[in-house]
Structure 1
């Protein structure tokens, strides 16, 4: 897995349900390296701190490999890296292979895979169609957020080098399915209960389905 593009955003105001909303989803490629901090990417817009940024969502990664699929669905958009609001566009990132809790060296930073992206209305606003939310969930390749264990700069061309593989974990794709499938895989829920790469509140919410 290699970084294809580093992306950041300036605050952009959109109108949603008649109200002004500031968002950082309109990311564009940067020419310089970006700095991964423990709560966010330096110089990047993170307005909604309830749902973005913080320890478990310090940075968002999305796969370059999925762009062709979405370009075919939305051919009239002005396509560039960062279209999904990702800070890092990564080649060969496969959600069906990476495991929650895996630790990687990336540039000067040390990162850990945490949770998949859950789409919201801002993605629909970006694409001009709220139907993309259902399409995104059905496609089941959501990208992943990361925790930054060691801060540092990363740049285009840097590779993700596996340092430690998570034990008794599930893939990012399986975690995404847990969030949206009506019939939850209870074995998968049980397997993540001690995985501290996942927020306790998220683990507790899923644990309720074991009763």
Structure 2
């Protein structure tokens, strides 16, 4: 696996159906290296600390391969990396093969897999269509949150080198499916 793009966003206020929504989901690729800190990425806006940022979800990674699936549903969007609010767009991030606790060296940082991302209404705001939230729940394309065990800079082209494998733990897809089942009941 390798980083295809690094993305950050600013705090943005959006008028959504007459209500002002404050969000940091509008992330865009940057050319420079980004600094992964213990609870966040330096320079990246986090507007809802209950759902984003913090030790267990300091970095959000999403697979470039998943983009092709979503482009069929939303062909008229102006697609660029960071569309799902991810900080790291990774060439081939497979939630069915990555386990909670797996650990990777990437750039100067060391990252540990913690959990899948659960979609919220701000993903709908980003796509200008709330259907994406339900569609996102129906797929195993959740992306992955990482804990930063060792802080440092990462940039496009940096490789993920696995330094710890936790095959006895659940995969991210298994955890996501459990959450999806709970949300239905």
TM, length-normalised to structure 2: 0.96
* CA deviations over 1:37-96 (Å, ceiling 9, x no partner): 000000000011111100001010000001011111100001000000000000111000
CA deviation after TM superposition for structure 1 residue 17, in Å = 5.6
2:172 pairs with 1:172: yes
The 10-residue stretch of structure 1 (28-37 or 173-182) with the greater mean CA deviation from structure 2: 173-182
Partners of 1:66 and 1:51 lie apart in 2 by 22
- Matched with 1:62 is 62
- Matched with 1:209 is none
- Matched with 1:28 is 28
- The 5-angstrom pairing of residues 132-211 of structure 1 reads 132-166=132-166, 168-181=168-181
Which one has a bigger Cα radius of gyration? 1
SS in 2 for 1:181: helix
Partners of 1:61 and 1:183 lie apart in 2 by 23
Structure with more relative contact order (C-alpha pairs < 8 Å, separation 6 or more): 2
Structure 1 stretches (4+) deviating beyond 4 angstroms? none
2:48 pairs with 1:43: no
Partners of 2:167 and 2:69 lie apart in 1 by 32
Q: How many residues were matched structurally? A: 184
SS in 2 for 1:149: strand
- The 5-angstrom pairing of residues 65-80 of structure 1 reads 65-80=65-80
Partners of 1:127 and 1:19 lie apart in 2 by 17
CA deviation after TM superposition for structure 1 residue 161, in Å = 0.5
Q: Structure 1 stretches of 5 or more lacking a match? A: 185-211
* CA deviations over 1:141-195 (Å, ceiling 9, x no partner): 10010000000000000011000112520110011001012599xxxxxxxxxxx
SS in 2 for 1:142: coil
SS in 2 for 1:139: coil
CA deviation after TM superposition for structure 1 residue 16, in Å = 3.8
